[in-house]
Every structure is written in C-alpha cells, then in structure tokens.
Amino acid sequence: MPAITLPLAFKATAELSEPQFTKVYYYIDMGTCPFLTIINVPLSHLTLQKFKESLPKTNFKYFNHLRTEDEGLLKSEINNDSEKLLPIFAGGKVIMTLLTNEKFINDKSK
C-alpha cells in the first residue's frame, strides 16, 4: 500500500487545538450526496469501531478516503475495528464510503 501522509498543517496543530469531536462525511453505495455524523471523540482517537457505533446498521464494507504522495486520492478498505480513520485534508476532514455487501459483490463482478 502506498505511504499515507497527513497534511503538514494538520500535524502541527492536531495536539494543540484538537476538538473533542470529529465530523465524518460518508457515502452509502454509489450515492452522490454525503451523510454527516458527528462523533464525540477527538480525531486522534477515532476508530472504525467508534464510527460504526454512530450508524444504524453495520453490515457494510468500509473505505477511508485518503490522499497519498504516490497515488493521489484513493479509497482504502478498513475492516479492523481498532484501526484509526485518517483525514483526507489539513482541516481534519474524514470521508468514508460504505458499500452494502450486495452492492460490493455486484460491482466486483462487472
């Protein structure tokens, strides 16, 4: 997997002024309008499990949107509940895509 880097502005300010909540924007299947959930944990402690707890159901495939030096923007699948969700931009914006199992299987067969 390509190296994932946090934006410098985020690295410099994360510990000094980190809010005690995190906004997570997420898409379900191929939706074009994101949903927003606010999770009452700081970004540095946000895990997949905490995100799942904010959802009405959890039988999804989870993909964290990331920016890498090598590949640019990409979606990285996360399946470990203790894995940290990473921001995509300096402002600490976390973006996820959630695919239902049926949708994931149908898309892979194309």
pLDDT computed for residue 9 by the predictor: 46
Q: Which residue segment(s) compose the domain that 28 sits in?
A: 8-108
Note whether residue 3 is domain-resident. no
Note whether residue 20 is domain-resident. yes
Note whether residue 2 is domain-resident. no
* pLDDT by 10-residue block (mean), the chain, 110 residues: 50 62 93 94 94 88 90 92 90 90 55
Do β-strands 35-39 and 72-78 pair in parallel, antiparallel, or remain unpaired? Answer: unpaired
Strand order in the sheet with 72-78: 35-39, 22-28, 94-100, 60-68, 72-78
pLDDT computed for residue 13 by the predictor: 45
Residue 85 contacts residue 64 (beta carbons within 8 Å): yes
Residue 99 contacts residue 30 (beta carbons within 8 Å): no
Q: In the chain, how many domains are there?
A: 1
pLDDT computed for residue 19 by the predictor: 82
Alpha-carbon gap, residue 84 to 50, rounded angstroms: 10
pLDDT computed for residue 110 by the predictor: 46
pLDDT computed for residue 62 by the predictor: 95
Q: If you search the block for the tokens 């700081």, which residue do you land on?
A: 42
CATH number at residue 66: 2.40.240.130
pLDDT computed for residue 53 by the predictor: 94
pLDDT computed for residue 51 by the predictor: 96
DSSP string, the chain: ---B---HHHHHHHHHH--S-EEEEEEETT-SS-EEEEESS-GGG-BHHHHHHTSS---EEEEEEEEETTTEEEEEEE--TTPBP--SSTT--EEEEEEEHHHHHHHHT-
pLDDT computed for residue 90 by the predictor: 72
